[in-house]
Structure 1
Amino acid sequence: MVIGIRDIAAAAGVSVSTVSNVMNNRPNVGEAVRARVLKICKEMNYIPNAAGKSLKSRKSKTILFNFSDFDRSFYLEIIEGINDYAGANGYDLMICTTKSCEKYMHNSLTDGCIILDGRMKTETLLRAAREQYPIVTLDRVLAVPHPHIKSLVVNNYDPVSEMMEEILRRGYRKCAFIGGPEHTDDNKERFQAFLDVLNKSDIPFRRENYFSGDYRENSGGQAVKILMLAEELPEILICANDNMAIGAMKALQERGLRIPEDVAITGFDDCERAETLGLTTVTIPNYERGYLAARSLIENINGKNNFEPMKISAAVTWRKTVAPIFINNK
């Protein structure tokens, strides 16, 4: 049997409103009555309905984080950053990974949310966002700015440009690219930086050397299988994230190819395995962006109203999957 506020009121011989006043620590209740109500709550193991309280206060002191799946390890660092800032400021964190997330995007349950899910439709965000329910999006900028949605994105373009310029300086010319889902902003920005540096140096890039992946390890391996059907391998394989790069590395090594002597390879994200495998990649400060996302959201919940987009810098980390100097022995 679930004990409700009416049961407590009946047992204590007081009104429901008096029990509510005690639960909310209001001063308009005598000490004797307060003590009796609290004693009965303890005896009956009564737990106040947090959702019901939030309907009146409009503050649940809970924020929501929605992300797409568990396949990418960097999510854990982002969650840690979000949780640390939220906890330090008296907020609980609710995590949701499914399409049912929308039912929690309401201030009867949560005060605002952070979205890292490319599959969530823009219409869903527009329906949920309002003055009493701010939203922060990661890796996503709306085509039309919304007054209650703040975007916090990684600067993909500059580090990929820097990486490509150094790759060309080291002597690499024949490049292939494994991209993520083509509709995502981060993939578009990474590929554009890749193309722009090649074009600036008058190095042609053939579209058949672009392979579409899904940011998962298996798609990197599949791209290599297709690549192996070509008469000539690229000198370097640029991957839009680490998972696909790691899948590509495994597939190359299974076929007896050496990295970087036969094919060099790069990633993006700097996941935990990237360092272990010596993968050259772009390092994103994931803990910090989770922390900043939570800070931005909670500040806006508290009325700051700063919805200007924010960009986070990233840096290239050079490791052994790219040779210091490329020597073409073919």
Structure 2
Amino acid sequence: MTSIKDIAKKAGVSISTVSYALNGNPKVTEETSSRILNIAKELNYVPNAAARTLKKRVSKIIGVYLTDFSGAFYGEIVQGMKDVLNKRGYDLIVCSGSYSHRLLPQRMIDGAIVLDHSFASEELLQLAGRGHKLIVLDRELNHPNVNQVLLDNKAGASLAVEYLIEKGHRKLYVVTGPKDSFDSKQRLQAARQTIERNSDVVCVEIEGNFDKESGSQAAEQIMREYKEPAAVFCLNDEMAVGLYNALVKADFRIGEQIHIIGFDNIELTQYTQPRLATIDYSKRKWGALASEQLIKLIRGETVEHERVYVTLVAGESVGISET
């Protein structure tokens, strides 16, 4: 790869003169600058972006760290981030895995939005302590360089369980998410608290993993245990759809024998028949708000923690209990 040193040697000038010319510094005459630029082009010189970023300490790039890229959920939230950042002159890169964590200390990105439970909180606090600006969407961290933009998981889970109970259901299943997921923990805690306030409700928890496969596996257990109509709260829609499909294939009547509510209101839920009840919020708005907060942090502006509110979307997948 061609370096500044190679250009300087061919042009017969110093390395600093080449650097000035490449950066448009008026210290170099127009004639010398033109000659250096032509040589750089001839040698196929490509500027070292990493070195330039380290020097200027600004990359105009934001990183978003995600646990996973699959499913409809991530596309909308990332689009919300991108819409805001592009308007403010920033590019967005999507990161995953421990090696990409180095982008922050190496100053390859100006800040990060984190929705990745595998990114340890201790590491994030260390990075914040070194001055890096961070937005977290999946945990609570107390540091002036960290801002929280969290989904109101507890309110959503309470709405879902209360909806089932108001419909008269007293036998409930809750299909959980990954054990290390902040959203799953928050939703499960609120679901348990709501159920505990209703002493006549019986609840069975089934471990899930926020994907269709674990929803399908939950359906197998529910079908084996089936004796009378029951209601199911899946802690996300991906599992609810997996559960839904498995039950339909086994000729169970959704909204009559098994009643289902999910969480996230992904687009697919709008096309199920009967329509899947779920908890709704704007994923695009969540991503946009995270980006706005990060830009404020980078600029040194004061920010307050934000919360994304949720609403209930009723659906025919939950009917009135006849028991």
Structure 1 residue 233, shift from structure 2 partner = 4.8
For residues 1-330 of structure 1, what are the structure 2 equivalents within 5 Å? 2-130=1-129, 132-142=131-141, 145-206=142-203, 209-230=204-225, 232-233=227-228, 235-277=230-272, 278-306=275-303, 308-323=304-319, 325-328=320-323
Whole-Å separation in 2 of the counterparts to 1:146 and 1:203: 43
Question: Match of 1:27, as an amino acid?
Answer: P
Q: Deviations over 1:258-316 (max 9, x none)?
A: 1011111011111121112221111121111111112211221222253x422111211
- The answer to whether the 8 Å contact 1:132/1:301 transfers is no
- The answer to whether the 8 Å contact 2:170/2:201 transfers is no
SS at 1:282 equivalent: strand
Percent sequence identity over aligned pairs: 34
SS at 1:60 equivalent: coil
- The answer to whether the 8 Å contact 1:175/1:234 transfers is no
Q: Which consecutive unaligned segments of at least 5 residues does structure 1 have?
A: none
Whole-Å separation in 1 of the counterparts to 2:113 and 2:255: 39
Whole-Å separation in 1 of the counterparts to 2:226 and 2:113: 46
Question: Match of 1:176, as an amino acid?
Answer: Y
Q: Deviations over 1:154-195 (max 9, x none)?
A: 001223323333332222222111011234322222223323
Alignment coverage as a number of residue pairs: 321
Whole-Å separation in 1 of the counterparts to 2:38 and 2:186: 61
SS at 1:41 equivalent: helix
SS at 1:102 equivalent: helix
Question: Match of 2:227, as an amino acid?
Answer: E
Question: Match of 1:257, as an amino acid?
Answer: F
Whole-Å separation in 2 of the counterparts to 1:261 and 1:40: 76
Whole-Å separation in 1 of the counterparts to 2:152 and 2:178: 18
- The answer to whether the 8 Å contact 1:176/1:234 transfers is no
Q: Which consecutive unaligned segments of at least 5 residues does structure 2 have?
A: none
Question: Match of 1:173, as an amino acid?
Answer: R
- The answer to whether the 8 Å contact 1:279/1:320 transfers is yes
Measured on the aligned residues, the alpha-carbon RMSD in Å equals 1.9
Question: Match of 1:260, as an amino acid?
Answer: G
**Pair 305,106 (structure 1): closer, same or farther in 2 beyond 3 Å:** farther
Whole-Å separation in 2 of the counterparts to 1:326 and 1:234: 7
TM-score, normalised relative to structure 2: 0.92
Whole-Å separation in 1 of the counterparts to 2:51 and 2:284: 33
Whole-Å separation in 2 of the counterparts to 1:315 and 1:47: 51
